[in-house]
Structure 1
Amino acid sequence: MSGKDRIDVFPSRMAQTTMKASLKGAQKGHNLLKRKADALSVRFRTVLHKMIETKTLMGEVMSEATFSLAEAKFAAGDFSATVLQNVNNAQVKVRARKDNVAGVTLPVFELYQDGGDSYELTGLARGGEQISRSKRSYTKAVELLVELASSQTSFVALDEAIKATNRRARAIEHVLLPRIERTLAYIATELDEREREEFYRLKKIQQKKRQLRERAEAEAAVRLAALGLTVAEPANMLTEGMDEDLLFD
């Protein structure tokens, strides 16, 4: 097993405990990333469905707005100069807010009206109804355009977030977790080998001590045999001496 296949650590009980904690943390992080990816995917599909609907409706609304503008110009003539003269500031504005989905910030655009209608009297002489209809159609088109921009921005942000989350989850699943597991297996193998070596060493020490004890006993027996004694003879001689004293008494 090469060093690239596992984490370079010294095999010890402390390292084993640390690796087990790291394995548990990596597994928990992987589960959280999977849950985050699932939540983002649900929101992604919702935004995609809404974006498709908005684009479909956008085509219809823009077609209707263009046709209503043609009607208004036919009925009231070219009224664009009058509209431009009456407009000083933008009345339809867009503001942005942030929406949080599983830790991912999504921009949301909202349309709001700032001030009154400065060209509400346009077309009062003739073509007023057609101009009002055209204004309502283009207002609806602008609302859908802002909604579509919000959906597309969220779509791009969610797509990038899902890709990044899946990359992290795959990195943990296929790189980090196997390395930690291989490291734990390496530490367990080294500790088992160390225990076997320690057991063999103790066994050899005991065997050596037993050999030394047997050698010492053999040497003592040889010395006693050279003196014409055995191990039990000193006790017998002491007993015989005590019996003779008792007889003499």
Structure 2
Amino acid sequence: MSYLQRVQPTKLQLISLKRNVAVSKRIRKILEDKKEVLLRELTENVEKAKSIRRKLSEDLLGAYEHLLAAYADMGATKLDSIAGSTRGRLDVEVRVKRVMDVRIPVLVMTGGASTARYGVVDTSPELDEAVRKLSSSLADILKAAEVENTIFRIAAELKRTQRLINALEYIIIPKYERDIKLISTILEEREREEFVRLKKLKYVIEGRRAQR
């Protein structure tokens, strides 16, 4: 099948192609708006992730320093025994929010963290402070995981959106416009040929009338 047969150079096809171009351009505009929102969300979450990581790093470093002090005060054997005999609990609920149709898991602590319980007799205040700092860091650890997952998902959607924009911009719309130009040229040529044919027919008819 030839290219012209596939294109079907008719006025109806020309109207259809022009409509397709208009729709494609509207879709491209919607996708470009979506891209702007995704870029803004991505930038905000990257900055948020940096901030959370800085705070988390400081808090965990502080907890580690207190833990080292507790080791010095209590000894490794006793501290390891406490660590092995106690258990904490963290209840987390996973919810979902949407950012431009991107599903983002949200991690929510329900009821707070239940820290490990141990006897306070013959324990160091440094251990208490280390446990307190670690417990307070749990929410930030969850938030860091949530934000980094958000960044990954938004980046993936941004990449997909850009591919669609590129397809419309460089493949689909240009093809429609080439087809429109080709069909318009063919129809104009047909109109000229028809005009010439009718003009010749008119001369023939007028000539026959003159001979009568």
TM (norm. structure 1) is 0.76
Q: CA deviation at 1:35?
A: 0.5
* Residues 93 and 80 (structure 1), Cα distance of their counterparts in 2 relative to 1, 3 Å cut: farther
Letter of the 1:27 counterpart:
K
- For 1:170, the aligned partner's letter is N
SS of structure 1 residue aligned to 2:7: coil
Query: Equivalent residue for 2:202?
Result: 206
Of 172, 177, 182, the residue aligned with 1:181 is: 177
Q: 2-side partners of 1:83 and 1:66: how far apart?
A: 14
Asked whether 1:12 is paired with 2:15, we answer no
Alignment RMSD? 2.3
Q: Which has the larger radius of gyration?
A: 1
Report how far residue 50 of structure 1 moved: 0.8
Query: Deviations for 1:142-175, whole angstroms, at most 9, x for unmatched residues?
Result: 3222221111111111111111111110110111
Q: Which residue of 1 aligns with 2:65?
A: 67
Deviations 1:125-149 (A, max 9, x none): 1336333211111113332222211
Question: Structure 1 counterpart of 2:85, which letter?
Answer: Q
Give the corresponding residue for 1:34: 32
Asked whether 1:110 is paired with 2:100, we answer no
The residue aligned with 1:141 is 137
Matches within 5 A, 1:207-226: 207-216=203-212
Aligned 8 A contact 1:91 1:113 in 2: no
SS for the counterpart of 1:111 is: strand
Query: How far apart are the structure 2 equivalents of 1:16 and 1:72?
Result: 81
Alignment of 1:224-235 (within 5 A): none
- CA–CA separation in structure 1 for the residues paired with 2:130 and 2:121: 16
Q: Is the 8 A contact 1:75 1:126 kept in 2?
A: no
Quote the sequence identity (%).
22
Query: Which residue of 2 is the match for residue 57 of structure 1?
Result: 55
Aligned-partner residue type, residue 81 of structure 1: S
Would you say the 8 A contact 1:7–1:180 is kept in 2?
no
Distance 1:106 1:19, change over 3 A: same
Worse-matched range after superposition: 167-176 or 94-103 = 94-103
Aligned to 2:85: 85
Distance 1:7 1:92 in 2: 67
Separation (CA, whole Å) in 1 of partners of 2:163 and 2:190: 39
Deviation at 1:18, TM superposition (A): 0.8
Give the superposition deviation at 1:46.
0.5
Partner of 1:190: 186
CA distance in 1, matches of 2:159, 2:110: 34
Q: Give the drift of 1:205.
A: 1.0
Count residues with an aligned counterpart.
209
Matched residue SS, 1:79: helix
TM-score, with length taken from structure 2: 0.88
